[in-house]
Structure 1
Amino acid sequence: MLGSRWLRGLLFALPGLLLAGFGAVHPAVLDAATASWWAELHVLLLPVFPLPAVAQWLLLTSAPPWLRWPGRLAAFGFAVFYGGLDAVAGIAAGTVVHAQHGATPVVGAVFGVGDLLGHLGAGCFLAANALIVFAAISRARWRAVPGAVILLGASVSFLDSHIFWPRGVVTMIGVAVGTSWLSLAGARPDGGETR
């Protein structure tokens, strides 16, 4: 059914689109004026950041086990480490700056931990997407190539753009388009997976 096929594509695009929307309202800098919103925004993001990992997990469903399980482990790593970044550099840093009425050396230490978690999470995101791309091209051939190129490009950009405006927002839109495209490239017209 065509409707369910396009609904599938929309559902796979949704995590990236949500993150792009949050990125558009993310403060550019953390200071006394933005600290409260910074912390609140990252509380709102807690249930959103794991959603790309869910999409990755599902995109790996029809992959051979030797791709599926390392890919799912990387997706899990993304959810864990990037969730840690959100909690530390988002909620904790925003709370510290708000309580101290400005940035202090404590915030630098908090960001140091958050940056490490973010780099690990973004690396896991890239690894999972590389395995997804390999599986999708193996299965769907040329139909997967545009989505693969977009998703890999966005995954590399995500290593340092995160969701910050403007590049991070464009990156998340790329993730949305790439995951949606790959979900459609590997789907049969009846909504099932091609093998």
Structure 2
Amino acid sequence: MSTSRTTALVMVPPLLLAAVGLVHPQSLNGSTAAHWAGLHILLLPVFPLLTVGLLVPLWGRPRRDLAGAATVVAWVGCFVFAAYYTGLDAVAGISAGTAAEHGATAAVHPLFARGDALGHAGVYALAVAALATCTVLFPRHGMRVLPGAVILFAACWSFVDSHIFWPRGVFTMLGFAVAFGLLAWAADTDAASG
């Protein structure tokens, strides 16, 4: 796959999430409940695709040595993110939206609390996967990895409590898109030239 296509591939999921963030309700109430629940149903397969930005640059990396161990940590972190962040969408998105839509507003706060705990665990796993990915890429690609890594860690930090809500969540997703693009470009460019 060409460098430009690889770069575009890893940028699509966060750009899609940023676009959806523009129409994500700012709060959950009776008038937004159906939209809230429906939007999170649509997002179930999209959030796990954020991991593509970490997995694609690792494709074909060595599996025996420190880089191999870090690659395994990155893959496991991506899996944990996908599972737990999907849990956030299911609990605080679909369940809380459905509860609010049917007037069970007393259930919304506990659902948000449980969903937030799942989401935080997922984002922390994504941050570990990001660190592991950069650990694998840096020895081979050097300083070219640093711009993407810095933006990636800032996006992970912001993602802990921004979800995709406008404005910070949208900018967080744009940060992921830029970071993933830079990492993929650095890895593909060096691989093509060396």
Unaligned runs of 5+ residues in structure 1 are none
More displaced stretch, 123-132 vs 135-144: 135-144
Which residue in the other structure is 2:125 paired with? 124
- The yes-or-no answer on 1:81 pairing with 2:79 is no
Alpha-carbon offset, residue 176 of structure 1: 0.5
Percent pairwise identity? 44
- The partner residue of 2:12 within 11, 14, 18 is 14
**1:27-46 equivalence runs, <5 A:** 27-46=25-44
Residue 115 of structure 2 aligns with an amino acid whose one-letter code is: G
When normalised by structure 1's length, the TM-score is 0.91
CA RMSD in angstroms, aligned pairs only = 1.8
Runs of 4+ in 1 over 4 A off after TM superposition: 192-195
Which residue in the other structure is 1:97 paired with? 100
- Give the direction of change, closer, same or farther, for the CA distance of 1:193–1:128 in structure 2 (3 Å limit): farther
Which residue in the other structure is 1:66 paired with? 69
Q: How many residues align?
A: 189
Residue 129 of structure 1 aligns with an amino acid whose one-letter code is: A
When normalised by structure 2's length, the TM-score is 0.91
Contact 2:53–2:184, Cα closer than 8 Å, also in 1: no
Unaligned runs of 5+ residues in structure 2 are none
Contact 1:139–1:194, Cα closer than 8 Å, also in 2: no
Which residue in the other structure is 2:185 paired with? 184
